[in-house]
Amino acid sequence: MIKIAPLTKKDFQEIRLAIVVVVVVVVVVVVVVVVVVVVVVVVAAAAEVVVVVAVVVVVAVVTVAEAGAKVVVEEVVVVVVVVVVVVVVVVVVVVVVVVVVVVVVVVVVVVVVVVVVIEIL
């Protein structure tokens, strides 16, 4: 017969430590994936807004020009530039906020896990 030794306190500590490590890795991976998805969605939405605005401006300019009215190119350019700048600023702000929140969450999780590990050991 093969005799199996009972688990010692050290064995339980190692098992708990392994569980904690797995949890930390999973949390960090999930957080990183969420950040990437949010950034991609925000950037895609911003690009879509810029394209829609450009199309609307072009259609408006063509319509006005066909009606025989004089198109003031400078005004059109100013409108497009303002919209693009606003969209870019919003995208940058959202991305920065998301990244900061994620970094804070990851730091908190890692600190909690380290404290738990120290308690276990």
57 assigned to some structural domain: yes
- pLDDT number for residue 109: 79
* pLDDT tens-digit map of 4-16: 778 888 888 888 7
19 assigned to some structural domain: no
71 assigned to some structural domain: yes
1 assigned to some structural domain: no
- pLDDT number for residue 80: 79
The secondary structure of 68-104 as a DSSP string is TPPP-HHHHHHHHHHHHHHHHHHHHHHHHHHHHHHHH
* pLDDT tens-digit map of 59-87: 887 887 777 777 777 777 788 788 888 88
Question: Which domain range does residue 57 map to?
Answer: 49-121
- pLDDT number for residue 6: 82
| Rounded Cα distance, 61 and 76, in Å | 8
- pLDDT number for residue 1: 67
* pLDDT tens-digit map of 20-65: 788 778 878 887 888 888 888 888 888 888 888 888 888 887 887 7
8 assigned to some structural domain: no
- pLDDT number for residue 121: 65
Q: Which residue has the tokens 């009215």?
A: 69
How far, CA to CA in Å, does 16 sit from each of 12, 55, 71, 110?
6, 58, 72, 16
Give pTM, 2 decimals: 0.57
- pLDDT number for residue 10: 84
Helix/strand/coil for 40: helix
